[in-house]
Chains A and B, each alone.
Chain A
């Protein structure tokens, strides 16, 4: 059983560009969350998708947007990239968002560098 997969593994962009990151959840998982991890910091919650809708959002600007597809895979889009967007972007999936304390399983991440 494949775990959470993310693509690409690394990405280099310049300021002002747009980027799309992709995530496939574990088999049977219907909830996908995205986190941003700056160097030396803990991950910060960006948003969560369930049934193809954004259900929760962290303190991130509208430049960060996402999508969930009928097969539960998800995309994270970031527009008008800033140098401060350089980070490791982690995708996590869980069996459901409806159960308290449900475990989230993380992918290996996409490392984004903005020059």
Chain B
């Protein structure tokens, strides 16, 4: 079946540091890939997505590139802020439609001054 593997957290960074959160997936064909963010006490918000190989999703300074050859969708940001502290989830939906999301376990990011 489909699955998503994320790097374990928590990840602790200083403000303005470079961020990478690794995400790899297992799926047949070409799934759609997503990053969602969850702030404390809230639901999930879509951060970015990519629906085909080599697509780059970007939003609010975050970027991720759909790499079919390495089955990866790593999240990056050049300079994190304290306000980026949250839990980040990598997820996929299968290529056949239906849009059932399969999530990774989440990576907690803490950004300190």
Residues of chain A touching chain B, judged by Cβ–Cβ distance below 8 Å, are: 4, 31, 33, 35, 40-45, 48, 55-56, 58, 90, 92, 94, 97-109
Contact = CB atoms under 8 A, between A and B. Distances in A.
A4 B42 CA distance: 12
Contacts of B42: 108
Contact of A105 (B4, B46, B89): B46
B101 A45 contact: yes
Contact of B43 (A40, A97, A103, A106): A106
A44 B34 CA distance: 15
A42 B103 contact: yes
Given A105-B46, A106-B43, A108-B43, A99 B100 contact: no
Interface of B: 4, 32, 34, 36, 42-46, 49, 51, 89, 91, 93, 95, 97-106
Contact of A106 (B45, B97, B100, B102): B45
A103 B101 contact: no
Nearest to A111: B41
A96 to B, nearest CB: 9
Contacts of A104: 46, 99, 101
B44 A106 contact: yes
A73 B36 CA distance: 23
